[in-house]
Amino acid sequence: MMSESPIFMSVRELGYRIKSKDISPVEVTKIFLARLEKYGPEYNSVVTVTTDLALEQAQLAENEIMSGEYKGPLHGIPYGAKDLLATSGGIPTTWGAKLFEKQTFNYDATVISKLRKSGAILAAKLSMVELAGGMGYRQPNASISGPCKSPWDKSKWAGGSSSGSGSAVGCGLVPFAIGSETWGSILSPANNCGISGLRPTYGRVSRHGAMALSWTLDKLGPLALSADDCGLILQEISGKDQKDPSSSKNAFTYNRDTPRRNKLGIIRNVLDDIDDQVRSNFIKSINHLKTKFEIVEVDIPDLPYQEVTRTIMLAESSSAFESFTEKGLARNLTAPEDRYGPYARTSVLAKDYIKALRIRAVMAQQIHEDMAKFDAFISPTRNTPASPIDDEFRGAITGASRDIMGAVGNALGLPSVSVPNGFTSNKLPTGIQFMGRAFQENKILSIASDFQEESEWHNQHPIELLPKTEP
């Protein structure tokens, strides 16, 4: 019998209690399955609850642990996967679109296989913006599941495109989730749902079995209650995979004890055009960080960062969805702007795409040099708190909003972790991101974890979702 509810318990703590046999994986899984069934439809955060598979995996984990075969920190812990990750066994993988609601695969994405080998339990496929938002959506209602809602306010959007991954963790429906980011799709829901999200270095996690939107920009990563949990999860899902030629040979072992320069950079003008309360919370975070770090404004080279990232995304997605486009299938998408989104991008010229890739090389070298003096670059995760679910938003991908950190980080495949850093007067969470050089996840996770150990934002959860309100 459990002495304490596993809901909103960190992965580290839950893992420890499972290992010490204080908590049963089967019991934990049943609790989270019940919450997925109850709250999933309320928040539009779930596409499929994988009950049978979860109970089977939970029983297996319990048997293994009871017989002394403990596999590691995720053994016996339920999780959810963004519904663009292929899952075998007849479980649909909808890519967030009605058109693909019956789509199934006869194999598992590598990240799903790795988590199974770690003993984690797949409890749900989580909602997402249709086709990972790649068709240029400008509103939350762009998904087979409806607009996904923030745990903090059901009238506000959970962010996208890994909407369900953010909302399900923030609602306490799963202890962690896997999301994907091409430009902003992990960090945005982490921000809007008041949780932690890690965009790993490009190639750190195999993309095999994940819907391709933009081959050189797509990354898979964890969303969880803390940066520390993200580190534990990344260790289990990273590594070379022969099925993904871009996957890195650099092994990742989570280790918070990393050397630091005690210096953080803020790209000059990155705070222009941001919401006043987001700015205010960020300045409070800076004042806190100043006790340990020198914080310096940085001038980065004058290059068309957003235009490079946007051109790469448009050209690659146009090719990835060529067949879809040629058949006119966009007409079946939910958001009106997604129905014509694929066509204009077919006019990106090859020479302009290649020019973007050449400028990317210059950017990579110069930003690498600029970042060498710092442990990380920091900024507010998003310019605004969560927007209303029935409003259009201004997105950087479509060029309607500025996001230099996102453009630089995604074009160059740099890791970034977002953690909560406060609330607005309407009790909407805001976030701060720590972006590091390639393959320096340990450094940014370490800084973010220290920040969280000295703050309480990540330990706050919506009152109506706390376990005491369970019937």
Partner 1 sequence: MDLEEKHLFDLVSTKYGHFIEAHEIAHIKDSIADIVSNARALREVHLSNSVEPFSVFSPFSEPTEHNSGEINDE
Q: Which stretch binds partner 1 (CB under 8 A): 40-48, 85-93, 224-232, 346-354?
A: 346-354
Per rule CB under 8 A, is residue 212 in the interface with partner 1?
A: no
CB of 111 to partner 1, least distance (A): 20
Residues 110-139 that bind partner 1 (CB under 8 A): 136
Per rule CB under 8 A, is residue 361 in the interface with partner 1?
A: yes
CB of 383 to partner 1, least distance (A): 19
Whether 345 contacts 398, CB under 8 Å: no
- Comparing CB distances to partner 1, the nearer of 38 and 240 is 240
- Comparing CB distances to partner 1, the nearer of 216 and 460 is 216
Q: Where do the H-state alpha helices sit in 254-304? A: 276-289
Q: Residue 20 burial (CB < 10 Å; 0-12/13-18/19+)?
A: exposed
Whether 127 contacts 46, CB under 8 Å: yes
Per rule CB under 8 A, is residue 328 in the interface with partner 1?
A: yes
Torsion of CA 128, 132, 135, 141, to 10 degrees: 10
Q: Three-state DSSP class for 266?
A: strand
Residue in 2, 66, 296, 354 binding partner 1, rule: CB under 8 A: 354
Residue in 4, 349, 369, 459 binding partner 1, rule: CB under 8 A: 349
Closest CA to 447 of 468, 459, 433: 433
- Locate 442 and state its tokens: 């340990």
- Comparing CB distances to partner 1, the nearer of 56 and 337 is 337
Distance (Å, whole) CA 394 – CA 391: 10
Distance (Å, whole) CA 361 – CA 304: 13
Per rule CB under 8 A, is residue 337 in the interface with partner 1?
A: yes
CB of 247 to partner 1, least distance (A): 11
C-alpha pair distances (Å), 332 with each of 100, 194, 272, 328, 329: 10, 32, 38, 9, 6
Residue in 154, 339, 394, 450 binding partner 1, rule: CB under 8 A: 339
Q: Three-state DSSP class for 235?
A: helix
- Comparing CB distances to partner 1, the nearer of 249 and 468 is 249
- Comparing CB distances to partner 1, the nearer of 345 and 437 is 345
Whether 18 contacts 77, CB under 8 Å: yes
- Comparing CB distances to partner 1, the nearer of 153 and 316 is 316
Residues 398-457 that bind partner 1 (CB under 8 A): 398-399
CB of 444 to partner 1, least distance (A): 22
Positions annotated as catalytic residues are: 82, 161, 185
At 412, give phi and psi (nearest 5°).
-95, 0
Q: Which stretch binds partner 1 (CB under 8 A): 58-66, 153-161, 286-294, 331-339?
A: 331-339
The CB density around residue 379, as the number of other CB atoms within 10 Å, is 25
* Residue whose pair of structure tokens reads 């819907």 in the numeric block: 211
Residues that bind partner 1 (CB under 8 A): 136, 216, 240, 242, 245, 303-304, 307-308, 310-311, 314, 325, 328, 330-331, 337, 339-341, 343-349, 352, 354-362, 364, 398-399
